[in-house]
Amino acid sequence: MRTLKLTIAYDGTDFAGWQRQASDRTVQATIEDCLLPIEGSRAIVIGAGRTDAGVHAAGQVASVTLAAAIAAGDLRRALNATLPADVRVLSIEEMSGTFNAQFAAKRKTYRYSIWSDGVVPPTLRRYVWHVAQPLDIATMNAAAQVVVGSHDFSAFQAAGSDVVTSVRTILESSVAVVPVESMTLMAGPQVDGILLAYHIMGSGFLRHMVRNIVGTLVDIGRGRKTPDDMRRILESRNRTLASATAPPQGLSLWRVDY
């Protein structure tokens, strides 16, 4: 038996999330189905994190144990030849037998994309949250710094979450404008609006935590809340004080570090 590390990208629009479900289409089940004729039996693909319905990944990582002797490069080509177009295996590496993509992960980085003001290009609508008015980016960035460090993020977790602890450590949190030149391929030359990217890196995240932080950051950018409100919300541990959850299509699991 051999343990493999798969780095995977997917467009989450038409998936009910990463984790296998009884009837809905998921990324995990889709990859496992494509491995079935290669392995001869169902292999369990373990993801570094469970993305929700509609959430994308540029660098999801998964581990799988196989008996099949197929070389890593040949396996990558075979999987990409059979996987649907909205999932791709970017790389496959041989690992030690104890490697587990979920438990071995040290840091995860998420990116949330916001199209501010203007008209969102149809080619980007599946990957951004369109906020119709201008946003105060400097104020949003000041608020983004509030969550850096180890905190109890109860105020930003999904209602009804069942976790041992809601304390998480955030290493980086920032909002930046994406340069126009880097997005003209998708948006076209007549760019009407501003693309913002919120990056957050941490050792772990609660369910809906990033999207709940983003919802609050956008309200701060709109002038409805302040960076001081972000601090008060965080310290309150009260989910009802934070803003509405940002929509899933703007979120992408950007990378996982080991």
Residues 183-218 have pLDDT tens digits of 666 666 677 889 999 999 999 999 999 999 999 999
| Residues carrying an active site annotation | 52
| Domain count across the chain | 2
Q: Are residues 149 and 81 in the same domain?
A: no
Same domain for 123 and 245, yes or no, is: yes
Q: Tell whether the model's pLDDT for residue 224 goes beyond 80.
A: yes
Sequence-separated (6 or more) residues with CB below 8 Å from residue 207: 52, 157, 158, 161
Choose one of 46, 71, 95: the last residue of a domain: 95
Task: Give 190: exposed, middle or buried? Use CB within 10 Å, 0-12, 13-18, 19+.
Answer: exposed
Residue 76 has pLDDT above 70, yes or no: yes
Nearest to 209 by CA among 142, 141, 154: 154
Which domain-ending residue is among 67, 95, 123?
A: 95
Residue range 140-169, pLDDT digits in tens: 999 999 999 999 999 999 987 778 899 999
Are 161 and 121 found together in one domain? yes
What is the reported pTM? 0.94
What is the rounded average pLDDT for all residues in the chain? 95
Instruction: Tell me if 79 is assigned to some domain.
Output: yes
